[in-house]
Amino acid sequence: MGLMEVINGRRKKVWDRQPKEFFKKAILNIDGTMSETTGECKEGMDISYKGEWGYAPLLISLAQTREALYVVNRPGNAPSHLDSAFWIDRSLDLVEGRFEEMWMRGDTDFSLTEHLDRWDDRCRFVFGLDARQNLVSLAQRLLEGQWEALERKPKYEVKTEGRKRPENVKERIVRERGYKNIRTISEQVAQFDYRPVKCKKTYRVVALRKNLTVERGEQALFDDIRYFFYITNDRTMSAQEVVYFANERCDHENDIEQLKNGVNALRMPSEDLVSNWAYMVIAALAWNLKAWLGLLMPQKILGHRIVRMEFKRFLNTFMKIPCLIVKTGRQIIYRLVGYNHCLKEYLRAFSVIKECRVT
């Protein structure tokens, strides 16, 4: 933990140099993952409910910059929410005072009702909520007029002329061979007030109703209705916006993938839990340094691209640059052999980094 706090101390210096309008809202993404290992003698490893041997790290990141604020190693049988309240509180301490608003979001594992009242005093949150029978009953008792259609945003905006979509080969094969197929017909949202048993306060619950049809081949077998719930202390967003905001948490999966396969922070090469934890934090620092470079870039458009950039592309663009070192007289000349259009701004950023004195 001490190593993470040292890194976070330097992180604050980078944040302090950012314009206030950039850091108005802090959104904390919270999730757990599984890091498998083929080793048999690693201390602290365990088997998950899926039968996978390894460790179960907890990762908390800042959505705007994709920085890994806390990376916590745990045994492989640990549920996602294990000890998460402690690290969530530390993450709130880290961003408090540097942002005008603080937000948290996570899946159903992190809707820890015994902590919601305390978090309500500090920040806003949107968590998934298990579709238990009492919540389903409350949703079913809502009047039909209280439900509103949910229109999904397009995945991307077509900037040129729209093209004809190709045939969906997968769906055609499933239909021809008579496989079971579940399709979404429509989605509606509604909201109601709800007080969990362990809470003293009442919160807003947004219900998402999915109307599904179950087919086999060309024949529709039956319709199915499923409910999903989100609990929040925010009263300003519409019900649709709450669902969109919760779904945007999926971008955290991209951050986890980059930590796994980009900087290889979750490879677990050592022999015990604590050593692997230290390795995770040190390797994740490379991912954070990329974000800090983007934040300190004088050219802000390029800086934003660096923040969102995958680590492999970052290495190929900025790090793996052929350089010829020439010693002449009393000088050492670094002659860049492979030049790209980003290097000029990249080299200009070093003067800013020297002024920052993050070390």
pLDDT, mean of each 10-residue run, the chain (359 residues)? 88 85 88 90 89 93 93 92 93 91 93 94 94 94 92 75 81 82 88 94 95 80 87 94 92 92 91 93 94 89 91 89 86 84 80 68
Q: Are 228 and 189 in contact (CB under 8 A)?
A: no
Residues 226, 132: one domain?
Answer: yes
* CA neighbor of 37 nearest in space, from 280, 283, 286, 255: 280
Domain termination site, one of 186, 204, 238: 238
> Measured between alpha carbons, how far is 352 from 298 in angstroms, rounded to an integer?
8
Rounded Cα gap, residues 36 and 261, in angstroms: 13
Residue 31: per-residue pLDDT: 94
CA dist 351 and 357 (Å) reads 10
Quickly list H helices, 96-238.
113-120, 133-140, 169-176
Count, residues in the chain: 359
Helix axes 273-296, 343-356, angle to 10 degrees: 110
Is there a single domain that holds both residue 225 and residue 131?
Answer: yes
CB 14 within 8 A of CB 292: yes
Given this model, what pLDDT does residue 358 score?
58
Say what the pLDDT of residue 341 is.
Answer: 80
**Position 282 in a domain:** no
Does 341 map to a domain?
yes
- The per-residue pLDDT for 124 is 95
Rounded Cα–Cα distance for residues 259 and 67 (Å): 10
Q: Of 238, 263, 280, which residue sits at a domain end?
A: 238
How many CA atoms lie within 13 Å of 351's alpha carbon, on the beta-carbon side? 5
Considering the domain boundaries, does residue 109 fall inside one?
no
Q: Classify residue 88: in a domain, yes or no.
A: no
Where do we find the tokens 């003067």?
A: 351
**Domain enclosing residue 345, as ranges:** 300-356
Count of CB atoms situated within 10 Å of the CB of 281: 22
Give the bridge partners for 46, in sequence order.
54
Asked if residue 307 is part of any domain, the answer here is yes
d(CA 112, CA 104): 12
Q: How far apart are CA 256 and CA 229, in angstroms?
A: 24
How many Cβ atoms are within 10 Å of 69's Cβ, its own excluded?
24
Assess if residue 294 is contained within a domain.
no
Answer yes or no: do 139 and 233 share one domain: yes
Q: What are phi and psi of 73, to 5 degrees?
A: -90, 140
Looking at the domain assignment, is residue 78 inside a domain?
no
* Residue 224 and residue 133 share a domain: yes
Asked whether residue 266 is assigned to any structural domain, the reply reads no
CA-closest candidate to residue 217, choices 182, 180, 170: 180
Domain count across the chain: 2
234 & 157 share domain = yes
Q: Are residues 234 and 307 in the same domain?
A: no
Question: Taking the model in full, what pTM does it have?
Answer: 0.87
Interacting residues of 272 by C-beta distance below 8 A, sequence separation 6+: 42, 43, 44
Burial of residue 268, with CB atoms counted within 10 A of its CB: 0-12 exposed, 13-18 middle, 19 or more buried = buried
Of 279, 259, 149, residue with least CA distance to 211: 149
